[in-house]
Amino acid sequence: MSQQAAAPAAPAPERGFSRDVIVSLVVVYVVWSSTYYALRVAVEELPALTMGGVRYLIAGSALFVFAKLRGARWPTAREWLAALPSGGLLFLVGNGFVALAEVKLSSAVAAVVVATMPMFAAAMAPLFGEKSRRGEWVGMGLGLIGVVVLSLNGELQAERTSALLLFVAPVGWAIGSMLSRKLPAAPGMLSPAAQMLCGGVLLVAAGFLRGETLPAHVTFRGVAAVVYLIVLGSLAGFTAYAHLLKTTRPALAMSYSYVNPPIAVIIGAALGKERIGPEMLIAVALIGAGTFTLIRNARK
C-alpha cells in the first residue's frame, strides 16, 4: 500500500466548541462564581492560609488517587518541579491572597478585583510566546470597563492592605496559568493534582510562618463552606480550568473572570446581605458583551 493511500483524510475544520469545553466553561462560570461567598464564610471561622492549604491537599490527594486508580503513571521529578512554581502562584498567591483579603472585604468586591486577571495575562502573553487577537482585546476591554463600573463602591479605599493583596492575587494567578501551559505537566488529571498538592504544601507552610492556628470549635456552616470549596471549587472547578488551559486559547480559559463578578455579587447580596447598587446593571451589560466578544474570537 502506498504512503499516499495510507494517509488519513484531513479532518474537517471544527465549528464551535467540543462538549467537554462547553461543560468546563459552565463549571468555571457558575461554580467559581459561588466560591467567593463560600470562601468568605470559611475565613470567618478558619485561618485563611491554613484552611486553603488543607483544602488543596485534600482535593489534590483525592484527584491523585483517582487518577492512579485509572492507571495513570507517577509524575516524573521534572513534572513535580514544574508543578511547584505554577501551583504556588495559582494557590498561594492567586487563591491565598484572596482568602486573606476576604477576612475584611466582601466576596463581591473580591470577585470584581480578581476579574482583572485576563488583563495581566494578555499583557504578559508575548513573554510566553503567545499573541492576543484584536477581537480578544476588544472583549477584554469591555469586560474591564464593566469591572471598573462594578467596583465604584469605596470599599477598597477603606481596606488598603486587603486591596493590595487582592490586586496582587490576579497577577499571581495569571502568571501561574501561563506557566501551566508552557511547563512540562503530568498527563491528564495528575497535572492539576500535582499543582494542588504543591500549592497546598506552600499554603500550610505560609500559614505556619504567619502564626495561624486552628480554632477549637468550628460550626457546621464553616465546615460546609470548606467541603463545598474542596468538592466543587477545587475538584470540579480547577480540573475544568486546567482542561481549558490545555485545549483553548488563554483568553477563553480566563473569560470566567468576567462572568464571575455579577453572579458573585448576586450571591453575596442574596446570602450574605452584601450591598448591590445600580452600577451592577451597567456592569452586567458590559461584562456580558465583553465575554460574548471574547468567546467569538477565542476559538483555537
- Picking from 256, 258, 237, the residue whose alpha carbon sits closest to that of residue 38 is 237
Max Cα distance, the chain (Å): 75
245 contacts 177 by C-beta, under 8 angstroms: yes
For residue 299, the model assigns a pLDDT of 55
- d(CA 67, CA 70) in angstroms, rounded, equals 5
Confidence of residue 77 (pLDDT cuts 50, 70, 90): very high
Confidence of residue 207 (pLDDT cuts 50, 70, 90): very high
Instruction: Provide the whole-model pTM.
Output: 0.81
Reading the block at residue 11, the C-alpha cell is 479532518
For residue 298, the model assigns a pLDDT of 59
Instruction: Quickly tell me which residue has 484552611 as its cell.
Output: 51
* DSSP letter for each residue of 90-144: IIIIIIIHHHHHTTTS-HHHHHHHHTTHHHHHHHHGGGGT----HHHHHHHHHHH
- d(CA 199, CA 203) in angstroms, rounded, equals 6
183 contacts 191 by C-beta, under 8 angstroms: no
